[in-house]
Amino acid sequence: MSFWILPLISILSINPDSTQISAYKFAATPIWRDEFDKDGLPDSEKWGYDVGSKYNGWGNHELQYYTDANLKNAYVADGILNITAIKEQHERLNYTSARLVSKDKGDFLYGRFVVRAKVPKGRGTWAAAWMLPTDWVYGNWPHSGEIDIMEHVGYDEDAIHVTVHTKDYNHTIGTQKGVMKRVEHATTAFHEYRIDWTPEYIRGFVDDVQIYDFPNEGKGSAVWPFDKRFHLLLNLAIGGDWGGAKGVDITAFPATMQVDYVRVYNLLNP
């Protein structure tokens, strides 16, 4: 989801020598998962909420207020998590939505992270499945890092972004390391978005096809802060520095990001 100012993207090519890096293996069975098989509010043993808005001093100048355990904005039905942005006035803002977080309920160091999701249509929407540090050991963003499993902004339909952010590699200084892939029917069908995170690399996949490779250069935390715990986030933002770069189509609401499952597999040989 990142703390965007401008949507600057440095496209990475897949490293042809990446297959020579240590052959890491992942467990066959998830160590943490949510199949969203119980209707109602998301499982409180697995998810909490980031609550508030730009007026609380965080975010990217987005237009929504993130609510807390509100069925209008986050609910499970028929095996699917629905995160819905609604055009309604709340706390000086004109939209409500939800941002689910696994912090203190699911925190991980390395692993395979899989999110099967369908992103919403609509100019002004900004859907994301991503990860942030739990303990911020190296300092505030971007010093402690960020991993974006999947991002999609509605004004560029079917363009899926995979990105990491660090002190030395981030968009605020024009050095961001990310990739964009056109994913046919991303807004009308579910696709599987995945990150493999090991001590030597972070790799991104869409429907089991690798599209992204970020190697550990061995230059310390400014480049690789990814040796500490991270947690998962699922959210649908409205507007903001990137999502709202071409305005907001008010006829697109309510808009819903849907998630079929989230699965985390342990790294077997860290």
Annotated catalytic residues are 146, 151
Q: Are strands 74-77 and 159-165 parallel, antiparallel or unpaired?
A: unpaired
The answer to whether the beta carbons of residues 112 and 194 sit under 8 Å apart is: yes
Phi-psi region of 40 (alpha: psi -120 to 50; beta: other; left: phi over 0): left
Report the run of H or E that residue 132 belongs to, with start and end.
Answer: strand 125-133
Cα–Cα distance list, 65 to 48, 86, 96, 120, 131 (Å): 16, 10, 5, 18, 20
Q: What angle do CA 11, 117, 74 make, to 5 degrees?
A: 120
Q: What angle do CA 223, 224, 226 make, to 5 degrees?
A: 150
